[in-house]
Amino acid sequence: MAEHVELRQVPLLGELGEDELRSIRPHLKMNEFASGTSVIRQHEAASHFHIIVSGTLKVYVRQETRAHIATLEAGQFFGEMSCLTGGAASATVETDGPVVTVSMPREGLLQLMDKSAKFRRHMIEAMVRRIASSNDRILEEHARSAVIVRQLAEERQTRYGRLAGEGRFMRRLRGEITALAGGDQPLCIVGEQGTGKTHAAWEIHAQSERSEHPVFVMSGADFRAEEWELKARTAQGGTLILKDADALPAGQLRRLAQTPSDARLILTARQPVDLPLTRIEMAPLRERKEDIPALVRAFIAEAGFEEPDGLISQEALNLVTNFPFLGGNIRELKQVVHEALIRSGGQTIRIPHLRFGSVRQPGTRPKVALALGSGAARGAAHVGVIKVLEQAGIPIDMITGTSVGAFIGALYAGGQPTSAFEEVLPTVRWRQLVRPALSGGGLVDNHPMVRFVEKYIGPADFKDLRIPFAAVASNAVDGEAHILNAGKVSHAICASTAIPGVMRPVRLGNHLLLDGAVAHPVPVALARSMGADIVIAVDVRVPDSMKKAPSSFVGAILNTIDIMSKRMIQDEMQLADFVLNPEFGTSAMSFKESAICIQAGEKAARESLAAIARRLEELDSRKEIRP
């Protein structure tokens, strides 16, 4: 109550005379506010003028989001303009911790200004000081407003829906987001392009107590210190998201993370940054296939269709689910679905409506990829195909391979000429590539493959190869495809060629891997995902018409893999421009018959050579590469 206030200790009031103080005492009210209380609300009239006795208040302006524009402390006052004029307050004043004020209504404020020349002069001087500094404040607030308006426009363009998917990864991610939303510590979200890193950052902000405050996004790729400082000031109480943080020098990133701020900092990066931050790992789409159907339905619904479940055939969904999406993950999937809806005329999406890969830049020639399939020693036919393409001047811009296709493809990408294959392959014996297994998981261990591969291309990394190359293995636990395109090439070839049930699984990093034929017998989708405009697939499996009852345990295993992958390969082959099927007069389980297989590959390539050249010429004359 006012009679218990030591008025002489209250700023402004302590300067009044006894008569002046006595006359306004009936109008005074002591107020105690808990933290987070809105004393004055924007767009509402303020009934009282407040003098701050103790504590701190923050001033916010709300449009579609809330921005902090000022801080008020003991000795300052607020609410005078709205109290005097009866107009709506231009901002919200909210307590930041416990606050004590002394307030008076309009009647008391007018009486005090009328009776006390000293108080009136003090108020006028305070207003003059505000006016004198108004240019600076207006410029600052205008700059902040510009930032807010621009950010709101970005928000409208990038509204994030719910995080679709109910697979293991998504369940874990939702749990991490909920846990991290309750904290204030800086964190880093790491993953490939398009895996949803910024979406996860926004979701953490949305679930936190900061959700009523601004969230600002900035990219490390075009970082500007002035813009960052402005956003940091404007986002007080909210969240700052720094995308592509790994594009900044480590020292600069460390300084940003250590700069005091009321805003929470969330970094996103493709590679882990050198800072001791809590980290979220975003799995690429190819490692969370169970979420793809839900994402497809979400994108169809986003396009305005009320019943998305019936708008994609199972065959088309299977193909989409098994596509690697190396170029953009979720973002690329969304583009594929929306474009397919246009081609289907809003009817059911089928395989012919799907287009994968990127659009070729104007002025560049089409890129040609070889997708070399599995097939044990029959893979020598890949050499014959390469030989004919070389002789005809058909460029080979990238290679993908599975099992023996990975073996041949890696050696060729590493610089081995076809003449070397023709000389060496007939002399290769299985004992050079495998050894008896000393423990369970397989009859043999194919680790000697490392020494064999490195004999010809050395301990090369994928980035060292003269032709871009990627191999396919399969996860030994769930059979899902695992793309190998980084690290030691020789170790990747071991993994891609480890026949299930015959050879021990190969451990690479945290993954236990086997022959890629289980997942992608002929890796056409991988070639398309790497950016190929023309994909030449080479399928060296034994045709059904030539198959006989297997005469050995290894033959039985390989025959089982063929049967398992038959339907999968039929769907994936629809992504190839050309499918070459060398005709063998033998099942070719031994490399001794390599010469026959190479000749079969040459014959198949020559039969398609004219069509391949025409296709290359046709695409070379177009700006748009999508078939």
The answer to whether 214 and 67 are in contact (CB under 8 A) is yes
Instruction: List the one residue out of 579, 615, 530, 534 whose CA is nearest residue 357.
Output: 530
C-alpha 524: how far from its chain's center? Answer: 24
Q: Given 344, 403, 529, 594, which residue is catalytic?
A: 403
| Amino acid residing at 395 | P
SS3 state of residue 92: strand
Q: Token pair for residue 300?
A: 């169809």
d(CA 441, CA 447): 14
Helix%, strand%, coil% for the chain, nearest 5: 50, 20, 35
First to last CA, the chain: 81
Is 474 among the residues known to form the active site?
no
User: DSSP class of residue 541?
Assistant: S
SS3 state of residue 58: strand
Is 515 among the residues known to form the active site?
yes
Helix (H) or strand (E) holding 472: strand 469-475
* CA dist 608 → 523, 596, 605, 615, 625 (Å): 19, 19, 5, 11, 20
H-helix segments, 416-486: 418-424, 448-457
Strand partners, 217: 241
DSSP string, 161-202: ------SHHHHHHHHHHHHHHT----EEEEESTTSSHHHHHH
Instruction: List the one residue out of 466, 577, 570, 525 whose CA is nearest residue 326.
Output: 525
Q: Residue 338 phi/psi, 5° resolution?
A: -65, -40
Q: Given 445, 515, 533, 577, which residue is catalytic?
A: 515
d(CA 320, CA 84): 66
The answer to whether 541 and 563 are in contact (CB under 8 A) is no
Helix (H) or strand (E) holding 131: helix 117-132
Other Cβ atoms within 10 Å of 71 Cβ, number: 12
d(CA 30, CA 431): 93
d(CA 157, CA 137): 30
d(CA 34, CA 467): 67
User: DSSP class of residue 621?
Assistant: T
SS3 state of residue 239: strand
d(CA 247, CA 227): 17
Instruction: List the one residue out of 115, 382, 546, 289 whose CA is nearest residue 123.
Output: 115
Active site amino acids: 403, 515
